Structure 1
């Protein structure tokens, strides 16, 4: 998708997404045979429920049909949440991952190590982490700056308690 079309679609759709108290994470336009597929990825601090995606899909579809943003060709609109394995790239992604186990690939300047740790706290400069202990050792605290992170992705934990379960 051209940058110009991407910016145009973002400008058109972002206000509708924001009005649903969601963040527009990604817009992707691709081909599937003769049709085009417009994928919209949204998220929020509380996650995104299926019903919210469905309601938003209807609103976005109406808006796109009112304009010529997609041209005359047929297209399929998909609205979804980012999924558990999406890369953490924005400050808000790290805030939302607080309490989660994350796999970090650090920059060459930081030693280019891989690190798996739980995010305890996020501020403007970086992250306070808890590195799990190995072979019965106690967990250790570690601080990393955002500039030291090359890549980061949430690790799936099958026995992790959800925030909602802890509050109950």
Structure 2
């Protein structure tokens, strides 16, 4: 698939730019049929807008140079993943310890709780059950979930 080849090439260029930037990391790359490239960067302490702008400019120049698209017909958006984006990487789970998350399972069921701990194969949430808000700790394996999203708490 040509799109996979292009995504791999973009990933290599992006990771090259991030090689000397240990605080930030690539989360995902998506390409729309209109050659709109959407790249998500995250950081252990968040990603400042200035970093996103400078990364966009540097990657855009590399993409033009690489000539991955005929006549350089592409657009590039670089952003941090919003709260509507599920956590994809282990590093994102670590970054969000202490925050409320919603875990969705393949059957459509879900659990909400505070992300308490993360290991290589699983993570732990603390749920509040019933009217008395009794605390229940649940360990969940990464391979048993559909996705996890950070909850917005007001």
Residue 136 (structure 2) aligns with = 140
CA contact (8 A) 1:106 1:148 kept: yes
Say yes or no: does 1:131 pair with 2:127. Answer: yes
3-state SS in 2 of match to 1:82: coil
CA distance in 2, matches of 1:28, 1:107: 23
3-state SS in 2 of match to 1:19: coil
Residue 25 (structure 1) aligns with = 27
CA distance in 1, matches of 2:138, 2:57: 45
- For the pair shown, the structure with the greater C-alpha radius of gyration is 1
Unaligned runs of 5+ in 2: none
Unaligned runs of 5+ in 1: 159-168
The two structures, once aligned, show a CA RMSD in angstroms of 2.0
Q: What's the CA shift for 1:31?
A: 4.2
Residue 161 (structure 1) aligns with = none
Q: What's the CA shift for 1:117?
A: 0.9
Say yes or no: does 1:122 pair with 2:123. Answer: no
* CA displacement, residues 79-111 of structure 1 (integer Å, 9 cap, x when unaligned): 100111211232222212211111112345xxx
CA distance in 2, matches of 1:137, 1:9: 47
Residue 52 (structure 1) aligns with = 51
Query: TM-score scaled to structure 2, two decimals?
Result: 0.86
Residue 10 (structure 1) aligns with = 11
Identify if the C-alpha distance between structure 1 residues 20 and 62 changes in structure 2 by more than 3 Å, giving closer, same or farther: farther
Q: How do 1:58-137 and structure 2 match up within 5 A?
A: 58-107=57-106, 113-137=109-133
